[in-house]
Structure 1
Amino acid sequence: MKAKPTIVVDADSCPVKQQIQETASQMGVPVVMVASYDHLLLPKDGVRVIQVDRSDQSVDLYIANSISPGDIVVTGDFGLACIVISKGAIVLSPRGEEYTEANIDYLMDRRHESARRRRSGGKTKGPRAMSEADRQLFQQKLTKVLLEQQEKCEL
């Protein structure tokens, strides 16, 4: 495992980019924001921006092909989370939920069931609006994960 993980962000619709940048800066961890050309992102100190074409899976493919074990990926995409988990990276949702081998199958099944219901004319609820408390919870979880990774590297 490398000395410090990289935080890799599925940045097209990530609502916690600022919290990621603040936390990474405080802990000296590099960040890579990956987004399509449709989204304007500017690099900052410690934050590299990668822009890919706008095709459906370009961001996911870039992330899947560039991560290393121990990296931390921030995404709300369960499919990408499955791939990233299998490559030994840690996955957090923008709300601070950690996706693991223990819960990803359930989440994928739930997503499939909701899609099936919508296709048959049913309605499903979307996610609630992101609150300041959600952003703080995410930042706390990211800090905790970074500290845990730091401890592993020191052993």
Structure 2
Amino acid sequence: MKIYVDADACPVKKIVIEEATKAAIPVTLVTSFSHYSNEEQPAGVETVYVDTGAEAADYRIMKLANKGDLIVTQDYGLASLGLAKGCTVLHHKGFAYTNNNIDQLLQTRYLSAMERKSGKRTKGPKALTEEDRNKFRHLFLKSIEN
């Protein structure tokens, strides 16, 4: 198993790195050049930089990931592709994307986009709470134990 993180705006990178390092599971952070950092990462953590295009990180993750790998993303489209490839896909708010919930999530995203396109204002995502972080950590640990 390898872990891939859609890292541009991922608020749980530190949790992933901390727990994956303890479990000796390799982590690849995929991020755009606009988020370049000289920060040293622990052994087993690699950063892959991609162009700043809209889906550049998603495409690279899908090129790198294999069946049985774990992907952390908030992007429903990437989650859908990861599930189709046989990956475990987690959201930073502490839930797993599944074949049972992905269609509803994609439909909700589409309807919200249509509302915004027609000029309606929609609410953004709620701020990440400490409870969300704890939920994510618990689900992440459970996912890497299997």
What does residue 112 of structure 2 align with? Answer: 114
2:122 to 115, 121, 124: 124
1:138 to 136, 139, 145: 136
Aligned Cα RMSD in Å? 1.0
**Is 1:80 matched with 2:78?**
yes
The alignment-based identity, stated in percent, is 40
Give the SS at the match of 1:143. Answer: helix
Give the SS at the match of 2:35. Answer: coil
What does residue 6 of structure 2 align with? Answer: 10
What does residue 28 of structure 2 align with? Answer: 32
2:101 to 81, 92, 103: 103
Q: What is the alpha-carbon distance in structure 2 between the residues aligned to residue 120 and residue 139 of structure 1? A: 38
**Is 1:49 matched with 2:47?**
yes
Deviation at 1:61, TM superposition (A): 0.5
Q: What is the alpha-carbon distance in structure 1 between the residues aligned to residue 14 and residue 100 of structure 2? A: 29
Contact 2:32–2:52 (CA under 8 A) maintained in structure 1: yes
Deviates more, 1:12-21 or 1:40-49: 40-49
Aligned AA (1:63): I
Deviation at 1:106, TM superposition (A): 0.4
List alignment gaps of at least 5 residues for structure 2.
Answer: none
Higher relative contact order (CA 8 A, sep 6+): 1
Deviation at 1:40, TM superposition (A): 2.6
Q: What is the alpha-carbon distance in structure 1 between the residues aligned to residue 135 and residue 122 of structure 2? A: 25
The ranges of structure 1 where at least 4 consecutive aligned residues each deviate by more than 3 angstroms after the TM superposition are: none
What does residue 23 of structure 1 align with? Answer: 19
Give the SS at the match of 1:51. Answer: strand
Deviations for 1:7-30, whole angstroms, at most 9, x for unmatched residues?
A: 100000000000001110121111
Q: What is the alpha-carbon distance in structure 2 between the residues aligned to residue 45 and residue 132 of structure 1? A: 27
Deviations for 1:23-62, whole angstroms, at most 9, x for unmatched residues?
A: 1012111100000001134332221000011111110100
List alignment gaps of at least 5 residues for structure 1.
Answer: 149-155
TM-score in terms of structure 2 length: 0.95
Q: What is the alpha-carbon distance in structure 2 between the residues aligned to residue 40 and residue 53 of structure 1? A: 11
